Structure 1
Amino acid sequence: MKTFWLAGGAAALAIVAVSGAFGQAVVSPPVQDVTVAADAVPALARAYVADRKTPGIVIAYAKGDRPPNFAAAGRIADEEGAARAGPDSLWRVYSMTKPITGIAAMMLIEDGKLKLDQPVGDFIPGFKSMKVLTDPANSLDTRPAARPLTVRHLLTHTAGLGYTIVTKGPLLKEYERLGIVPAALNPGVETELRKTRPGSLKAFADRVATLPLIADPGTKWSYSIGLDVLARVVEVAGGLPFEHFLETRMFRPLKMTSTYWSVPAGEIGRFATNYLWTGENRIPIDPGKASVFASPPSFPYGGAGLVMSARDYDRFLHMLVNEGVLDGIRVMKPATVRLAMSNLLPEGVVFQRAPSGSGGDAGPPMGYGAGGSVYLAGVPGGPGKGTYGWGGAAGTIAWIDPVNKVRTTVMVNYFPSDKWPLRADAVKAVYADLAR
């Protein structure tokens, strides 16, 4: 059994994956696939729909500087008449927002407006004097932090910050009480979360700074709200609201025209429904046509806030494969891209694997770069050393392999992300097709 905790103020809301928790599952109508490619990847897409693992799926993949291949099957929802899944369907990418925020920070490092090991307190004064819990499991007793919290720490989940999906004990209750839940699930949960969640990115970061850390900065990898706090650093250092910075420096230059913090009314028809697997039942918990993402968020969640198409996420990855340039437009220097996708973990810190349900990778020995994991060794016949990427809580997957010049985006929307072995299946299929 898996539980996804979201809380706001005194109300702790849980979505518990047990059979029948949200009524009866809807059976997917029979559909024809809309594949625009051949071989293993399209077959995988068809199989996932035929086997009722997902109502619809889109996979974008390519090698080198080539345009993406798209393999798509099914529809964006179980309901009759739902649009077919395709390259421009919209999906909640949740934590696949994190690499985008990380790369935005790297742009400012390239600009000289940020430094990798610069204290976050230079941009958010509340972080200048942090405290660390002395007994995290039992109390909120603290001591002074051994060192300042830095940009590197936020990028790599080594800041000592928590996350309501993994933090436990008294600190979790403080995160819940203060509304430190930068994510959207569905309108009902959102109503509760907004009772306590800060109303701006500045207020969010300032409130986080009042809370103790779970460990000294730079000493432990722990999945966290670090990329959400980093979004505030980006807007302070960049001199623009975070969402405007991304639009100006990344989305517009890369022609990412289907990337949203909230889905416009005119685009709702191509927005997928998100599902929850409860045993063998697939339950709609956030229908696309009545989604929480149809309204603006409390603030742009740099760790989990974007809705995107497979085509758009592929353009982001394509730029990284090309070391900062796409369609003749350069947004980053090659050296900056290589640094972003290198192992940035502080000395002595080890990243073993992503928490269950986070959408992160699990494979060979890994380090951590700017908002995503980094392979420290290659896989024979698969991803090479230096492969960088991350996944989303609703099953989405993305990676780029700089050795083999391979990039892949997989779009589905269901909880939990590891209900099916989609990541392993996609890696096997992509490398089999691209080897031909």
Structure 2
Amino acid sequence: MSADRFMTSRRSLLLGAGALSLAGLSGSAWARSAAFQQTQVVLDRLIADQKLPGAAVGVRTPSGQDVFLQVGRLDFGDAPGVDRDSLFRIYSMTKPVTGTAAALLIEDGRLTLDTPVADIIPEFAHLTVAIDPAKSLEARPAQQVMTIRHLLTHTSGLTYTISGHNFVQNEYRRLGVLPFTGALEAGDGARVADLDAMVAALGRIPLLNEPGTAYNYSVGLDVLGLAIQRVSGMSFPDFVQRRLFDPIGMTNTVWQLPAGRAMAQVYDYSNGGRTPAVGASAEIYSQPVTLFAGGAGLISSAKDYLAFLTTLLNDGRAGSVRVMQPETARLVRSDILPPPLDFYGNGYGFGGFVGRPGGREPGAYGWDGAAGTKAWLDPERRFAAVAMVQFFPWGAVDMETIKTAILADVAAL
């Protein structure tokens, strides 16, 4: 994130803070800026009002061009300007990456949507379901089989500490099932060391619901990371590096902040204030990683994440490189959540929402991050978009204003 003020001169636009760039196009960025005027106005206002120090937006247009808008700096004051390569904590925007990695194993014939999780993770062989998690951890044996589909769609019966404080969620806290870098909540303590230790702990905690019976936002994609690791025979981070990041060219997408690299500062705007979120500091993100959280662990940039979305939009091709088969890319962005279950009227794909017919964006696929980042693609309108910002808590900045502006600008092309 960046800049405590936005400069509107042609020189400053072209040199960085507040620049609009259209990758691969001739002509000056300034001359073309009217193409995304509504989005630019919204971003400028957020910076001018000091709602954010900076932001980066990337759009793959229906004509196949990449547009990048960047405003401000990585922090208030005299910090480097934001650009398309600036690093942001993307938290749950990690989930579509993990989901896509699972889809590659389906393409390889080594996994199916209906594969029982316990076949891969025997720690889940004797799962139980809480009778009344609001009152106790008393539980009964699970009757339904948890599958890969359930992990992808948050219908496994697992939960998250960020979703509440019932007995099951508090047991996650007690046993260290906290698959995040740093701390998202005050009071979070020691966490499990790695994915194996995480599932060992989860196997001892009751589920909230029978698998397949209810949507509960959860650590399902973190468990899926271990399933990918055990099925592929390589570490989870190595698998996503070799099968996704390298072929797509996602050089800025990492689990640990590289030495010498800066990242956007994230602030907590609770109670009308503005204080650095110490639990998500660059220092914390610079430490070695052992718990590779497939649900919330990645750092990325606007350029990288747009390239990832564009690969899915283009049926598995990243430029001239075939990353996955067309049917695999389409599967990732398809609705695999069986009715009558839904996600606020939408369906659910591989770690992200899928717009159902009759909704605002039928067929759209994407997800957001806990620090405000937003990303989605729309196969019907043939575009993809990502907005990189940093703030806590969720809702402190109205990100729908940015999305609405992007939709309007794309429609006007």
Please report the TM-score for the alignment, with normalisation by the length of structure 2. 0.89
The alpha carbon displacement at 1:128 in A equals 1.8
2:379 corresponding residue in structure 1: 402
1:291 corresponding residue in structure 2: 283
Moved more, 52-61 or 165-174: 165-174
- Seen in structure 2, the aligned counterparts of structure 1 residues 66 and 182 have a Cα distance that, compared at 3 Å, is same
Matched position secondary structure for 2:163: coil
User: Is 1:368–2:353 an aligned residue pair?
Assistant: no
The alpha carbon displacement at 1:66 in A equals 1.9
The alpha carbon displacement at 1:44 in A equals 1.7
Structure 1 gaps, min length 5: 1-26, 353-364
Matched position secondary structure for 1:332: coil
User: Is 1:42–2:19 an aligned residue pair?
Assistant: no
CA deviation map 1:168-190 (0-9, x unaligned): 32112211110001112369979
Whole-Å separation in 1 of the counterparts to 2:310 and 2:201: 36
The alpha carbon displacement at 1:137 in A equals 0.9
1:23 corresponding residue in structure 2: none
Is residue 74–residue 80 contact of structure 2 (8 Å, CA) maintained in 1?
Answer: yes
Moved more, 154-163 or 206-215: 206-215
**2:317 aligned partner, one-letter code:** V
How do residues 263-342 of structure 1 correspond to structure 2 at under 5 angstroms? Answer: 263-268=257-262, 271-286=263-278, 290-342=282-334
CA deviation map 1:92-143 (0-9, x unaligned): 0000001110111011011111110110011110112211111111111111
The alpha carbon displacement at 1:31 in A equals 4.1
**1:162 aligned partner, one-letter code:** T
User: Is 1:156–2:153 an aligned residue pair?
Assistant: yes
**1:274 aligned partner, one-letter code:** V
1:92 corresponding residue in structure 2: 89
Counterpart pick for 1:377 among 347, 350, 357? 357
2:110 corresponding residue in structure 1: 113
**Comparing both structures, which one devotes a greater share of its residues to helix?**
2
CA deviation map 1:6-28 (0-9, x unaligned): xxxxxxxxxxxxxxxxxxxxx96
Whole-Å separation in 1 of the counterparts to 2:44 and 2:3: 13
Matched position secondary structure for 2:277: strand
Moved more, 392-401 or 35-44: 35-44
Matched position secondary structure for 1:72: strand
How do residues 150-189 of structure 1 correspond to structure 2 at under 5 angstroms? Answer: 150-185=147-182
User: Is 1:248–2:235 an aligned residue pair?
Assistant: no
Counterpart pick for 1:433 among 397, 406, 409? 409
1:219 corresponding residue in structure 2: 213
The alpha carbon displacement at 1:249 in A equals 0.1
Is residue 20–residue 67 contact of structure 2 (8 Å, CA) maintained in 1?
Answer: no
Matched position secondary structure for 1:61: strand
**1:322 aligned partner, one-letter code:** N
Is residue 153–residue 351 contact of structure 2 (8 Å, CA) maintained in 1?
Answer: yes
The alpha carbon displacement at 1:416 in A equals 1.6
Whole-Å separation in 2 of the counterparts to 1:392 and 1:399: 12
Counterpart pick for 1:390 among 367, 372, 375? 367
**1:277 aligned partner, one-letter code:** Y
User: Is 1:415–2:392 an aligned residue pair?
Assistant: yes
The alpha carbon displacement at 1:282 in A equals 1.9
How do residues 16-35 of structure 1 correspond to structure 2 at under 5 angstroms? Answer: 29-32=4-7, 33-35=18-20
Matched position secondary structure for 2:300: strand
Is residue 130–residue 139 contact of structure 2 (8 Å, CA) maintained in 1?
Answer: yes
**1:64 aligned partner, one-letter code:** P
Whole-Å separation in 2 of the counterparts to 1:160 and 1:178: 18
2:25 corresponding residue in structure 1: none
The alpha carbon displacement at 1:430 in A equals 1.4
Matched position secondary structure for 1:259: coil
Question: What RMSD, in angstroms, separates the aligned Cα atoms of the two structures?
Answer: 2.1
Once the two structures are aligned, what percentage of the paired residues are identical?
Answer: 39
1:209 corresponding residue in structure 2: 203
Matched position secondary structure for 1:60: strand
Matched position secondary structure for 1:253: helix
1:359 corresponding residue in structure 2: none
Please report the TM-score for the alignment, with normalisation by the length of structure 1. 0.85
Whole-Å separation in 1 of the counterparts to 2:144 and 2:298: 33
Whole-Å separation in 2 of the counterparts to 1:248 and 1:296: 20
Whole-Å separation in 2 of the counterparts to 1:370 and 1:415: 26
**Comparing both structures, which one devotes a greater share of its residues to strand?**
1
- Seen in structure 2, the aligned counterparts of structure 1 residues 259 and 348 have a Cα distance that, compared at 3 Å, is same
- Seen in structure 2, the aligned counterparts of structure 1 residues 245 and 407 have a Cα distance that, compared at 3 Å, is same
Whole-Å separation in 2 of the counterparts to 1:95 and 1:369: 14
Matched position secondary structure for 1:165: helix
The alpha carbon displacement at 1:202 in A equals 1.4
Counterpart pick for 2:226 among 209, 212, 232? 232
Whole-Å separation in 2 of the counterparts to 1:288 and 1:141: 35
Whole-Å separation in 2 of the counterparts to 1:166 and 1:186: 14
